Amino acid sequence: MDIRFECIFEGKRLFQVVRPEGEIVVFTGTFAQCKRFQEVYQEKVARSKHRDRKAARPALAAASG
């Protein structure tokens, strides 16, 4: 994901968090807010992958046993 400058609104510089595939805007805010959004998003993705791996283990163990 990239952070790109969008505009100046009411004296604030606003940025967008953009996903590279299809140029999809997923968040708009100040630069600090966009950085925090990226951090939280990455944490959620990592937890989701970890949870998916944990759920798949018992099924694999039962199938091979």
What integer pLDDT is reported at residue 44 of this predicted model? 94
Give whole-number Cα distances, 1 to 6, 11, 33, 57, 60, in Å. Answer: 15, 25, 14, 30, 33
Q: Which residue has better confidence, 62 or 32?
A: 32
pLDDT at 63 over 80: no
Could you tell me if 28 and 14 are in contact, meaning their C-beta atoms sit under 8 angstroms apart?
A: yes
What integer pLDDT is reported at residue 59 of this predicted model? 54
What integer pLDDT is reported at residue 21 of this predicted model? 86
Q: Which tens digit of pLDDT belongs to each residue from 4-61?
A: 999 999 999 999 999 988 789 999 999 999 999 999 999 999 998 887 776 666 655 5
